Structure 1
Amino acid sequence: MLFEEKRISKLREILSDYSKFAVVVHSHPDGDALGSGIAMTHYLSGKGKSAILIIPDSVPETLAFLTEGEAFVDAAKFPAKATACLKECDVLFALDMNGFHRADKLEQVLTDCTARHKVLIDHHLNPELSSFDLVFSEIQISSACELLFWLLMELEGSAEALPEKTRYGLMTGMTTDTNNFANSVYPSTFEMATMLLAAGVDRDDIIANLYQEYRENRVRALAALLKDNLKILPCGAAYMVATNAFLQAYELNQGETEGLVNIPLEIKEVKISLFLKQEKDHFRVSIRSKRGWSANVLAKKYFNGGGHELAAGGKLYYPQDIPLPEDVYNYIQTSVAQFLQKDTQR
């Protein structure tokens, strides 16, 4: 992957001239956010820098293996510490977010941060260029982890030169964001994987941690969702809604519904799949689609969100978007049917 030499030179200069770094990722962190965050902090530490990872809220239990034994700040639990770290840093790296709004309650603190440099490394649409003085943004790439990998290759030349935990984090984040190489995969993605495997990354351990360590509750909840909750509309859309009552009945933890949205796409007639999870005053919406149908456009138009062409997310608020939580079903059926009936969305 080719990067503008001027930007690479500036990155080298920043890494050389400063000693205190903060790394922040988006709220409700997924594997790509945590993987890139861990990878970057270990890379910086390996260069003798002071580096701290700041996460806007708690790490999902399903991804806790990534942060086990790591020094990081949960900003939701320790807001004063997170603020202090951001005030003290010389350089702020923002990973896997296109702007500070993706950090939710941490947005204002990040905006007010007086770091000498703010650097964005991200693969989403519409980066907030005005918030950063150095931006590496690329949408034709699998993940923030892959983008970071190729930046580090520009700096170091080989995967073997990277710290072990940097390599592990990068492979993990790329694996989760591609749904284990099922979508958003490019030739460069396979090249990255090959280089990391050759450098000694234990992919079997990553796969075991990601996909073979679920609690029984999660598997039984999945069975119930598919049997009793999955709805398939004549227009070719599928959706599942996990209400508070359902989540409590199966005692599901944060992160345990991750990936469920992909399953209905296995059905031939399904063009687009939605998974909605109820939270305090809204439903968190995950959208996945097959080629020819834009998850990103659907998320933008109907769910206050956005993302990638085949993978996007958003939120549906009540009472702003729907009067009551139970109105979510009619809203989905109406909005998705309208969306799929318009050939302009193909």
Structure 2
Amino acid sequence: MVLMGKQNNAFQILKKMIDDHNHFVVISHIYTDGDALGAVMAFYHYLKSLGKKVEAIIPGSLPARYDFLKTRQAINRHSKSRLKKIIERADVILIVDISALERMDEWYAPVMASKAKKVCIDHHPDMCEQMDLKIIDVQRIATCEIVYDFFKTQGIEITDDMALALYTGILSDSGGFRFEGTSGKTLEIAAQLARKNIDPAWVYRQVYEYSNKNQLRFWGHVLAGLQSEGVIDWAVVSRETLQKFNVNIEELNGLIDIIRRDAAAQIFAMFVEKKNGEVMVGLRSKNGFDVGQLARRFGGGGHFHAAGFSSSLPLREVVQMTLEQIKQDQVLSPEE
């Protein structure tokens, strides 16, 4: 098992693991995003180029905004029963950008039961247990940065398809190179990838301007109901609201970052009630508020400024307990 701090050695171990095996599964988290899909697709194209047998799996549905990555031709290609057999027979399972293994959702049990070697590659704080190899770097804005470094340090040619996937992942998780954690290294990697026949403006439009009128009206409805107290802003989306506007969970992507633009607030929360009653909580912060610590209190995870968790409690109770915890803790002391 290799942890952060020994990354070059870990990359060498991963490269040998890939060279020595033939059947691979690449998987990431439910309610997927650009970084998860970018990492999955980059490995998919790489392994395919080596002539390996590879299956890419994402729990739940695939956001249409990322169709330009050809995700539907590569991910979830078979029935669930067949995919379970593929997982069972795999030599190596690459788990990318997962944050918490349970976010594999319905695939968690089959993956953990498989005798395959398991590799976790992530930029979230380490919550990956029972791995044969872990490559974790919480200083990176995106898992795709780590995957890029793996390819570069191991002398692996990055094709146009791989570059597009990696660039998209970095663009997505950095909020268009705006979020805390975006570094000079981030911009250097993006510049190198952009030279691979990528049109940055076009990719930006696919990721951040892929909306329809119904979604915009839905966002307007949610923003009109925005609530505030002190330095806290929060929005509540009931399942009735989702049904009224006929939107799915994926269409909420990016809304909390709109709320985060309020200059007068420091902590931001969005509570979304799914059809089955489960409540998803997205958290964002500015300056010294650690929402990652807050999320971990409720069984979730994430980063200092971006995190989340889920709860089976009623929507009103989840809102109340989250706001009370924020007020009680003040989350953590401000950053130095």
Does the alignment reach a TM-score above 0.5? Answer: yes
The match for 1:181 among 153, 166, 177 is 177
Structure 2 Cα separation of the partners of residues 98 and 68 of structure 1: 21
* Amino acid across the alignment from 1:325: L
Q: Cα deviation per residue 1:123-165 (whole Å; 9 max; x = unaligned)?
A: 1112324x221211110001111111111111126xxx21221
2:90 corresponds to which residue?
Answer: 89
Contact 2:119 2:131 in 1 (8 A): yes
Question: Quick one: distance in 2 between partners of 1:238 and 1:74?
Answer: 41
> C-alpha distance in 2, partners of 1:193/1:278?
36
CA contact (8 A) 2:101 2:127 kept: no
How far, CA to CA, are the matches of 1:146 and 1:5 in structure 2?
A: 14
For each residue in 1:71-110, what CA deviation from the matched residue of structure 2 results, as whole angstroms up to 9, or x when unmatched? Answer: 22278xx321221111222111111114532212211101
Asked whether the equivalents of residues 24 and 91 of structure 2 are also in contact (C-alpha less than 8 Å), the reply is yes
2:206 aligned partner: 209
Alignment deviations for residues 204-247 of structure 1 (CA, whole Å, 9 cap, x no partner): 221121122211111111111112x100112x000001111111
Q: Secondary structure at the match of 1:268?
A: coil
Which residue of the partner structure matches residue 271 of structure 1? 266
Structure-2 change in CA distance of 1:141 and 1:80 (3 Å): same
Shift of 1:314: 0.5
Quick one: structure 1 residues 74 and 101, their matched pair in 2 at CA, closer, same or farther if it must change by over 3 Å? farther
Q: CA deviation at 1:179?
A: 1.0
CA distance in structure 2 between the partners assigned to 1:309 and 1:19 by the alignment: 38
CA distance in 1, matches of 2:125, 2:71: 31
Aligned to 2:66: 63
Q: Return 5+ residue gaps in structure 2 as ranges.
A: none
TM-score, structure 2 length as denominator? 0.91
Alpha carbons 1:145, 1:174 under 8 Å: kept? yes
Equivalent residue, structure 1, for 2:102? 101
In structure 2, the partner of 1:51 is: 54
CA distance in 2, matches of 1:266, 1:192: 27
202-211 vs 170-179, greater mean Cα deviation: 202-211
Alpha-carbon distance change, 314 to 82 in structure 1, aligned in 2, over 3 angstroms: same
Distance 1:304 1:58, change over 3 A: same
Query: Is the contact made by 1:98 and 1:127 (CA closer than 8 Å) also made in structure 2?
Result: yes
Unaligned 5+ runs, structure 1: 319-323
1:283 to 279, 286, 291: 279
C-alpha distance after superposition, 1:259-302 (max 9, x if no partner)? 1111222222200110111111321011010021111112122x
What is the identity percentage for the equivalent residue pairs of Structure 1 and Structure 2?
A: 25
- Which residue number in structure 2 is paired with residue 294 of structure 1? 290
Is it true that 1:339 corresponds to 2:329 in the alignment?
Answer: yes
Structure 1 residue matching 2:234: 3-state secondary structure: strand
**Number of residue pairs aligned between Structure 1 and Structure 2:** 330
Equivalent residues in 2 for 1:1-346 (5 A)? 4-73=7-76, 78-115=79-116, 117-129=117-129, 131-156=130-155, 161-183=157-179, 184-227=181-224, 229-234=225-230, 236-279=231-274, 280-301=276-297, 303-318=298-313, 324-340=314-330, 344=333
Query: In the TM superposition, what whole-angstrom CA distance separates every residue of 1:4-62 from its partner, at most 9, and x where no partner exists?
Result: 44323322211222121111111221111111101110011112212110112211233
RMSD: 2.1
Q: Structure 1 CA distance, aligned partners of 2:89 and 2:126? A: 29
- The superposition leaves residues 153-200 of structure 1 with CA deviations (integer Å, 9 ceiling, x where unpaired) of 11126xxx2122111111111111111111121221111101101222
1:336 CA drift (Å): 2.6
Determine the C-alpha separation between the residues in 1 that align with 2:146 and 2:197. Answer: 20
Query: What is the SS of the residue equivalent to 2:134?
Result: strand
Q: Would you say the 8 A contact 1:46–1:163 is kept in 2?
A: no
Specify whether residues 99 and 212 from structure 1 end up closer, same or farther in structure 2 by C-alpha distance, changes over 3 A only: closer
Q: What letter matches 1:338 in structure 2? A: Q
- CA separation in 1, counterparts of 2:163 and 2:245? 35
Asked whether the equivalents of residues 149 and 170 of structure 1 are also in contact (C-alpha less than 8 Å), the reply is yes
CA contact (8 A) 2:120 2:128 kept: no
SS of 1:70's equivalent in the other structure is helix
